[in-house]
Amino acid sequence: MSYCVHCGVELAASEKECPLCQTEVVNPRSPWEKPVRTPYPQRFEAMTAQIDRSFFATIVGVLLLIPLLITVFCDLATGGGLSWSLYVAGGLALCFVWFLLPLFFKKYRPTAFSLVNCTAAILYLALINHLMGGSWFLPYGLPISLTASVLIVVQIVLIPRKKQTGLLPVLAWSLLCIGLFVVAVNLIVEGAAGRPTVPGWSVYAFVPCVLLSIVVSVLERRKDLKERIRRRLFF
């Protein structure tokens, strides 16, 4: 019979350390031995969710290969080389990265996944630009998509901390980001066209976004108002 020196509770024979404070049982007269009868068996009910998920992702990934192979085959058969089927290939690759890749990971890592997703999207844009022989990617496509990526990643990094407080702070941040994004697009377009880089039309979108964002933030502070709105919208 042992007692925990910290908690003062008697410990059952099965306890090697106190289950309350993790202090090890030190009884110089009788060192701890695993008892013949333990309160619970060693059998463990396992969860198989992770295996299921990656299995599902593999199956869907293999299924995605079917349309891919068909288009590549048709393209080769009709044109003699790979041309339009590359759009499909790129699109399918993008789908894979966006929707299936996260399923292979045990833990949901929003920041890492969103970085990978944005990179994949930018690469796909570059591919389209290349296939079209276009020249819009470097002046317009890249800067705009980079800005969007940065805003998305910033947003996602902030969300986990905001998660506990609810939807409103996330909404406020999103509105602010949309406003900033519109201004950035405006500046990039103006800059690429060789005009002076001052925000023009985007101000009309930016100001309402920021104002709405402020309203939402104020709403968040006013608990009673928030409660009243929630009560009205409750179903």
Partner 1 sequence: MLKNKAWMKLDNAAKIYPAAKRRNWTALFRLSAELDEPVDPLILEQAQRNTVARFPFYAQRLRRGLFWFYLEQLEGTPPVQKDVANPCVRMRLKENGGFMFRVRYYDRRIAVEFFHVLTDGAGGLIFLKTLVAEYLRLKHGLQIPPCEGVADCADSPSAEEAEDAYARFARRIGASRKEEPAFFIRGTDENDELVHITTGMLSVEPLKILCHQKNVSLTEYLTAVLILVIQSIQARCIPNQRHHKPVKICVPVNLRQFYPTRTMRNFASYVNVGIEPKYGEYDFDEILTAVHHGMGAEATEKKLNAKISANINSERNRLLRFAPLFLKNAALKLTFHLVGDRLSSSSISNLGVVRLPEEMTPYVKRMDFVLGPLSKTRVVCAVLSYNGCVNINFTRKIRESAVEREFFRFLVRQGLHVKVESNRLSLTRPARSFSVKEEASCPTAFTAE
For residues 22 to 61, the per-residue mask of contacts with Zn ion, x marking binding by CB under 5 A and - elsewhere, is -x--------------------------------------
Tokens of 86: 């590359």
Q: Least distance (Å) from Zn ion to the CB of residue 19?
A: 8
> Tokens 């060192």 sit at which residue?
31
Q: Least distance (Å) from Zn ion to the CB of residue 25?
A: 9
HEC-encoded secondary structure of 82-140? CCCHHHHHHHHHHHHHHHHHHHHCCCCCHHHHHHHHHHHHHHHHHHHHHHHCCCCHHHH
With respect to partner 1, which residue has the nearer C-beta, 10 or 132?
Answer: 10
Q: Is 221 in the site for partner 1 (CB under 8 A)?
A: no
Q: Least distance (Å) from partner 1 to the CB of residue 6?
A: 8
Distance CA 180, CA 200 (A): 13
Of 95, 72, 101, the closest CA to residue 85 belongs to 72
Q: Is 62 in the site for partner 1 (CB under 8 A)?
A: no
Of 9, 13, 6, the closest CA to residue 31 belongs to 13
Contact region with partner 1 (CB under 8 A), list: 18-26, 93-101, 121-129, 145-153: 18-26
Judged by CB under 8 A, the residue of 28, 30, 45, 221 near partner 1 is: 45
Q: Is 27 in the site for partner 1 (CB under 8 A)?
A: no
Residues in region 145-164 near partner 1 by CB under 8 A: 164
Question: How many residues are given for the chain?
Answer: 235
Q: List the single partner that 47 binds among partner 1, Zn ion, none, CB under 5 to 8 Å by kind.
A: partner 1
